[in-house]
């Protein structure tokens, strides 16, 4: 990743008040980019965005990507060269309870922003961040390649597959020789500052700080866990390639850990518990009457390794350690968490340079 590339680049991020969006906003701001964030106001309390006062560092517009006219006006004002689209309804369980909202946000939100950029000449690069769950998962324990069939049993996964198809259609129909458009499919992300409900680490952190135990559902489920900055570094590297070398990189890309770091939910929470809670702070949920979630998710990232020279840098236990350190500091001595977050970004950058 070329840090100099990002100086004074106009970047528009949707979903910048979310967990990954907050980390990306901070990183791009420190790289010298002119960042405009467009997102709903944070719904979690606490939230990383509010706790670190990111709106004081990054131009922030509160809006809804389902509102076509407002989205269009804000992109026109920002005159972005690069758009990274991260706004989404991002939770599997929420998608079962609110399927209409999930499809409206994840599918029509993508339609809206792709249609808007047809009329914004400043845009050179568009990256749609989808999910590793966009693949049709037949539970055969295979690692998914970008060429594998898309699908999804639950509304969230299905909506992300739809978002991929929408992006491909717009790319082929309207942007063949103009804007370089790609999609990014990342594995499960961990890191400090995530307080979303129905995610294993945020749920654990909230419970243990109330002296309660967490009930773990789907303990045997395998996921491609990675530290939050891992896929973000992939998005930034991909954006550079799209900007400098154009349509040759206008494809879909996987960003996930090496396969030896794909671990079960029970393994992950056990390690987090030892690192953060001292042990014996979780129980396995015995009630199996809950909505279906994929049992095995694994990504084949050989394409990103070969063509982008991207790879996951942090072993899983280091990712866990950095995640726990962030929460320990947040709930501990109340030091400047923006500065602490920057410290972790600098620490990660050292791994990129090796």
Identify the domain containing residue 36 by its residue range.
Answer: 3-353
Residue 290 confidence (pLDDT): 67
Strands (E), the chain: 10-14, 34-39, 59-62, 82-85, 125-129, 180-186, 189-190, 214-216, 222-224, 226-227, 252-255, 262-264, 282-284
Contacts for 351 with CB less than 8 Å, ≥ 6 apart: 313, 314
What is the pLDDT at residue 334?
66
Task: List 150's β-bridge partners, or say none.
Answer: 135
**What's the rounded mean pLDDT across residues 188-215?**
89
The pTM for the full model equals: 0.94
The model's confidence at residue 64, banded by pLDDT at 50, 70 and 90, is: very high
Residue of 108, 235, 95 whose CA lies nearest to 162: 108
The model's pLDDT over 164-200, given as tens digits with 9 standing for 90+, comes to 999 999 999 999 889 999 999 998 899 999 998 888 8
* Residue range 284-331, pLDDT digits in tens: 876 665 676 777 788 999 999 999 999 999 999 999 999 999 999 999
Residues pairing with 144 in the sheet: 299
Q: How far apart are CA 273 and CA 48, in angstroms?
A: 22
Confidence band for 142, pLDDT divided at 50, 70 and 90: confident
- From the list 83, 63, 85, 84, the residue with the least C-alpha distance to 74 is 63
In this prediction, residue 91 carries a pLDDT of: 87
CATH code of 52's domain: 3.40.50.720
Number of structural domains (the chain) is 1
Averaged confidence pLDDT in the chain? 92
CB count within 10 Å of CB 46 equals 13
Average pLDDT rounded to a whole number, residues 129-148: 91
Predicted confidence at residue 289, as pLDDT, reads: 59
Residue appearing with tokens 């129905």: 198
At 280, the pLDDT band (50, 70, 90 cuts) reads confident
Rounded Cα distance, 322 and 91, in Å: 23
Among 22-26, 40-44, 133-137, the range of highest mean pLDDT: 22-26
CA distance 199 to 244: 37
């Amino acid at each position: 990743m070329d840090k100099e590339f990002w100086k004074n680049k106009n970047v528009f991020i949707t979903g910048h008040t979310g967990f990954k969006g907050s980390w990306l906003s901070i990183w791009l701001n420190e790289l010298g980019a002119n960042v405009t964030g467009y997102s709903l106001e944070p719904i979690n309390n606490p939230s990383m965005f509010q706790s670190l006062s990111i709106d004081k560092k990054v131009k922030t517009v509160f809006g809804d990507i389902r509102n076509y006219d407002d989205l269009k006006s804000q992109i026109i004002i920002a005159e972005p060269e690069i758009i990274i689209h991260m706004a989404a309804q991002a939770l599997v369980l929420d998608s079962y309870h609110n399927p209409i909202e999930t499809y409206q946000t994840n599918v029509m939100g993508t339609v809206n922003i792709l249609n808007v950029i047809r009329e914004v000449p400043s845009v050179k690069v568009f990256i749609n961040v989808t999910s590793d769950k966009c693949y049709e998962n037949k539970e055969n324990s295979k690692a998914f390649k970008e060429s594998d069939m898309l699908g999804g049993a639950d509304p969230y996964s299905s909506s992300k597959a739809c978002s991929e198809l929408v992006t491909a259609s717009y790319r082929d129909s309207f942007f063949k020789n103009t804007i370089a458009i790609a999609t990014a499919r990342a594995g499960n992300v961990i890191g400090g500052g995530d307080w979303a409900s129905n995610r294993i680490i945020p749920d654990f952190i909230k419970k243990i700080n109330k002296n309660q135990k967490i009930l773990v559902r789907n303990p045997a489920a395998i996921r491609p866990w990675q530290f939050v900055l891992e896929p973000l570094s992939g998005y930034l590297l991909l954006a550079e390639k799209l900007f400098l070398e154009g349509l040759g990189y206008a494809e879909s890309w996987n960003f996930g850990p090496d396969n030896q770091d794909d671990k079960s939910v029970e393994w992950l929470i056990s390690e987090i518990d030892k690192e953060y809670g001292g042990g014996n702070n979780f129980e396995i949920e015995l009630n199996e009457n809950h909505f279906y979630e994929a049992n095995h998710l694994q990504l084949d990232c050989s394409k990103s390794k070969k063509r982008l020279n991207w790879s996951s840098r942090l072993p899983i236990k280091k990712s866990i350690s950095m995640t726990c350190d962030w929460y320990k500091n947040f709930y501990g001595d109340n030091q400047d968490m923006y500065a602490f977050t920057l410290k972790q970004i600098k620490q990660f950058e050292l791994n990129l340079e090796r």
